[in-house]
Structure 1
Amino acid sequence: MSCPPVGTRRTELLAALSIAIDLGLGQPAEHVLRAAVIATRLADRLGLTREQRDTTFHATLVMWIGCHADSHEYVRWFGDDIAVKREAYLVDWAGLPYMRFLMGNIARGAPLPQRIKLIGQLMRNPRGQMGALVHSHCASASLLAASIGLSERVQAVLGATFERYDGAGGPHALAGDQLPMEMRVAQLADLVEVHDRTYGPGGAEHMVRSRRGGQFDPAVADEFLSDPEALLAAPEKGSYWDAALAEAPDRNRPLTPVELDRMLVALGDFVDLKCPFTLGHSRAVADLAARAAAHLGLDADDVAAVRQAGHVHDIGRIGGSNRVWEASADLSAEQWERVRLHPYLTARILERVSGLGDVARIASNHHEQPDGGGYPRALAAASLPMPDRVLT
């Protein structure tokens, strides 16, 4: 018998979602959580209002929630959506450096004629082509933010994810004070986390100085540069998961059963944006599995757990490139390993959320088989409770 989720908090589910976002960006787990901690520290130093601080926290946590909605198009342009998103963190998205980055990554690994063709298409309208990806991301991010219950202010701020202080961003070429202050802080926090981890504190400082007045608001940049050591410091105890949850505006409020179901449905919808052919997949799996569980006579708690696991069973797919998921030819051994890894990543994303232990287990076992021939752990029937077998 599964235990009904008790005390699950929205902030924990958002933290779990951020781990999935990390995977989709090609970043290690807790990148987004650390960025959120840095952002709230900056917000405090800048003297932002409580509402602005709370919005900054949530905006930083989910600013890349649409990071995979354009994965299909990224694969068409660049070959590997996750690799190019990871490397894009190290490039200023403006001027010649950005154009060189695009040219160097167009159809990477593809035959020369295909590369030449795509380079020609991009050069005819580079801003329009990349602008379409930006629009897809921003639209998806705002819709998903609404579906998980974030405020209208957070939704509005997410629309400025790709804007720049100097007006060279998109989709609306906002400049200066037209950019929400919360996003100005979130952008800097997101990037200094990566540059500090990659190049050390000096690298993060150099990046901020070089983009001051360009991508970054000078006031936000100067505040960071006034004491980078304190802003980048690790938590005194615990992980960034714990530190970020401690900063969450609604950290002590548990979700109602209805709210929990709504958020898990939204997470499934989030996952299904990864590939064009998976739209609606998680909802269909959840419905079919729940009806099968009820038909088999499982109790109400087990049926609920199976349904909830059905919504989030594929969240680990975010960690795989669409180059694998959309492959038209037979997969290589390495690509098959990426496929077999995604249920493990599902467990990794969900396992720290209070009250979702059964849901995480059922979801992560959805490719196991009673004869031991499944993956990732080759579990046999004795290790697969009935709810797990239903979802497989």
Structure 2
Amino acid sequence: MVRDREARAPAVGKDRRQLVDAVVQARYQTFESPVRPHGERPSDVGAVQRNARRLRDRDNGAATRDQVRARRDHADRHRTRRARLDDGGCQAENERSSEESFTHAGSFLGTGQGLVRRQDADFLPRAPRLKGMSGDSVRVAEVLGVLSLATDLGMGMALEHGLRSTVYTVRLAEALGLDEQAAAQAYYASLLYYIGCTVDADVFSRMFGNEIEVRGAAGPLVFGDPRRMMMRFMSNLGGGESGLARITTGARALVQAPAAMKAGAAGHCEVAQMLSDRLAVPDGLREMLAAIYERWDGKGFPGRMRGDSIPLPVRIVQVARDADIQLQVGGLEHAVTTIAARAGRGFDPTVANAFVRDARAIASDLEASAWDAMLDAEPSKRPELAGTEIDDALAAIGDFADLKSPYTLNHAAGVSALAGDAARAGGLTEDDEQLLRRAGSIHDVGRVAVTSLVWEKRGPLSPDERERMRLHAYQTERICSASAFLEPIARVASTHHERCDGSGYHRGATAAMLNDAQRILAAADAYQAMTQARAYRPARSPEEAAETLHEESRAGRLDPDAVAAVLAAAGQTPPRAQRPSGLTPRETEVLRLVARGLATKQLAKRLGISPK
């Protein structure tokens, strides 16, 4: 797996470099930040540019060839050392491991006992395995469906809006007599409609307030009277601030808003195109995604197309998307009336009239779940992803989530690489290593469901804000579990904030509920996050992050063996734990095993003695 990543690192790195350049352009060449950041917080331009340089220096988290070799060699040495421990050698290291596990056990309740060794597999759950990991495959539609669910939450739409709209899109395409290729383009364009929505979330939130709520409220107006939509946005000017700051922000944003919205739409389209290039979608879709915010009358964004110059599949998606929004607002009759009124203005009149004629059939209730209906609606040629294509697609999902904030660029890629390398260092199986790399890629997709006002806040979070923040791990599981293929990966990905002592979130899981992969992911995410700046703090050095990770281990929150594996993969050496006073190495080993809850016979088997 490491060799595979090494081989494709340059291509992945190039894609991500281009993506970061697009983010810089979309956010900061036309958008001037309404409020100059102050205090210890770096300017947004500086933050993105520094992240861009870091991506170039590190080959965008995929790692350079030399870094891959160095990390692999370091992980192999650590794994060899662990193998000697399992074989009974290297007594000093065995004593350290035993003492550390005993120190963090604290009681017989099962918290902080350390990673499960192979012999202990009966006592704590093993990481879920993906069968046939080396030859697995998944339909492209499943991956795009997960992205669609994420964009629903990021745009303030009802969950499954994108899935329902995609079904309506295919039905409308059939009513218009489109050929299979054009229908397929409409299908995939519908699923990817809003995948550029995270690119300007932080800037949008400072200008208008809670970007998710504002965008959701503006959704029904997008293809209506442009003046009404603009007034809706203007009413929220400065919503990301309060008091005098809101007045100042609002005044500046009033001047900037029209140009900002135009640039924002262009940025959405450009980022959507770049992400789609990594998702193995059919030819021609890239051009479609450049037109998603255009209007038939030429009053759309960024305002480069009108009429027939907008690709027909996009015109169909626009009507289907708006139809579902209006259905949610006022039912079928309201949807028909609204679509008819927008014919020749926001919409192609031919497409709008086709919907009006067959609205009941096109927008009828879905017999199966929206997810199943979306999969069934895919045109007959149904492409699949396999092997490294899956890894690349999930990495694209991670980048989509990371774009939510200039501070999190490259976070998912870093967690994925570190967790996978830690799995090697910790002696886990190749399946578990693959699982961790994929879980690392998607672990933060739930972030898009939380407003940037929370992620960009410099001070302490309020109780409400903290609860919203904590739910992002739940949203990751909720979104990704829709896919049968991604569900076992989501079970691991959604636990990246759990802690062995039960103090984590979103489930408050304890050590007995967390398997090897989940413990490693939690430690890898913590280390990677600490070495990146956030709105409320500067980045910590690798050495500081390593020390903090070890402190968390000593306190029983992170697993000692997971921390050791992560630090080994990161090239850091964890401090040695002190031996419990007055105990021999053998006594320490006995107490460690007892703390793990082993019965007498199991204890004897591990110690190589008679159970009597």
TM-score range with shorter-chain normalisation?
over 0.9
**Which residue in 2 is equivalent to 1:108?**
239
Give the CA deviation at 1:291: 1.2
Q: 1:333 aligned to 463, 475, 486, which one?
A: 463
**Which residue in 1 is equivalent to 2:152?**
22
Give the CA deviation at 1:224: 0.8
Q: 2:219 aligned to 67, 89, 92, which one?
A: 89
Change (3 A) 1:172 1:34: same
After the TM superposition, which residues 104-253 of structure 1 pair with which residues of structure 2 at under 5 Å, given as runs?
104-108=235-239, 110-111=241-242, 113-124=244-255, 126-235=257-366, 237-249=367-379, 253=383
SS of the residue 1:255 aligns to:
strand
SS of the residue 1:51 aligns to:
helix
**Which residue in 2 is equivalent to 1:64?**
194
Q: Deviations over 1:287-318 (max 9, x none)?
A: 11111111110011011111110011001111
Give the CA deviation at 1:255: 2.3
Change (3 A) 1:285 1:158: same
Q: Is the 8 A contact 1:9 1:251 kept in 2?
A: no
Give the CA deviation at 1:249: 3.4
Distance 1:36 1:215 in 2: 19
Change (3 A) 1:251 1:340: farther
Equivalent position amino acid for 1:23 in 2 = L
Q: Is the 8 A contact 2:307 2:348 kept in 1?
A: yes
Q: Is the 8 A contact 2:148 2:192 kept in 1?
A: yes
Number of equivalences: 391
Distance 2:380 2:176 in 1: 22
Distance 1:109 1:207 in 2: 32
**Which residue in 1 is equivalent to 2:129?**
3
Equivalent position amino acid for 1:209 in 2 = A
Change (3 A) 1:273 1:385: same
Change (3 A) 1:311 1:92: closer
The runs of at least 4 aligned residues of structure 1 exceeding 6 Å deviation read none
Distance 1:90 1:266 in 2: 29
Q: 2:403 aligned to 260, 269, 273, which one?
A: 273
Equivalent position amino acid for 1:221 in 2 = A
Identify the range of structure 1 (85-94 vs 207-216) with the bigger mean alpha-carbon deviation: 85-94
Q: 1:297 aligned to 417, 427, 430, which one?
A: 427
Identify the range of structure 1 (294-303 vs 164-173) with the bigger mean alpha-carbon deviation: 164-173
1:359 counterpart = 2:520: no
**Which residue in 1 is equivalent to 2:559?**
none
Q: Is the 8 A contact 2:140 2:382 kept in 1?
A: no
Q: Is the 8 A contact 2:205 2:452 kept in 1?
A: yes
Equivalent position amino acid for 1:80 in 2 = N
Equivalent position amino acid for 2:206 in 1 = R
Distance 1:125 1:276 in 2: 20
1:383 counterpart = 2:509: no
CA-atom RMSD in angstroms:
1.7
Distance 1:187 1:286 in 2: 36
Distance 1:250 1:373 in 2: 48
Q: What is the TM-score of this pair, normalised by structure 1?
A: 0.95
Distance 1:198 1:251 in 2: 34
Identify the range of structure 1 (238-247 vs 99-108) with the bigger mean alpha-carbon deviation: 99-108
Equivalent position amino acid for 1:331 in 2 = L
Q: Deviations over 1:359-383 (max 9, x none)?
A: 1111011110111111011111111
Q: Percent identity?
A: 36
Q: Deviations over 1:14-60 (max 9, x none)?
A: 11111111110112221100000001111011111211100000111
Change (3 A) 1:371 1:126: closer
Identify the range of structure 1 (208-217 vs 54-63) with the bigger mean alpha-carbon deviation: 208-217
Q: Is the 8 A contact 2:240 2:453 kept in 1?
A: no
Gaps of 5+ in 1: none
Equivalent position amino acid for 1:243 in 2 = A
Give the CA deviation at 1:118: 3.8
Distance 2:233 2:216 in 1: 13
Give the CA deviation at 1:130: 1.3
SS of the residue 2:292 aligns to:
coil
Distance 1:357 1:137 in 2: 28
Q: Which has the larger radius of gyration?
A: 2
Distance 1:104 1:270 in 2: 29
Give the CA deviation at 1:331: 0.6
Give the CA deviation at 1:123: 4.1
Give the CA deviation at 1:167: 0.8
Gaps of 5+ in 2: 1-126, 523-612
**Which residue in 1 is equivalent to 2:532?**
none
Distance 1:118 1:330 in 2: 22
Give the CA deviation at 1:253: 4.7
